[in-house]
Structure 1
Amino acid sequence: MYQNDFGWGTPLVVRSGNANKFDGRIYAYQGREREGSIDIELCLAPQSMTALESDQEFLEAVTEL
């Protein structure tokens, strides 16, 4: 996907668009750097995002990465 050039240069990011968006949907794409990298798009409803942002255990685990 990153090799496509429509006259604006190579893409910086790949997104799925508006179709099939629902809470918890995950898309995984080959990463821009290739060589085994991946890009992940996670769709969350506002209330799910709010719950994640206030989950201290989750935030601590993400910080350790």
Structure 2
Amino acid sequence: MIGLLANAIASLVDGQGRITIDALRPPPLTGPIRNALAAVETGGGDEDPEVDADYGEPGLTPTERVFG
């Protein structure tokens, strides 16, 4: 039973971190949100986790993927 649930959860995103079910995708980011996030630096600090620029929804910057 736990294996079945784990498989179901794992299938919500593909190997690149993209959401596979359209109904679960959030609405597109608005212009004001994108503008606000453009000034935010993501990662780069000594203790910050590394942000994979190629993981997540296409068309979003790494900062938009983390905070958007």
TM-score, normalised via structure 1 length: 0.30
* TM-score normalized by the length of structure 2: 0.29
Which has the larger share of strand?
A: 1
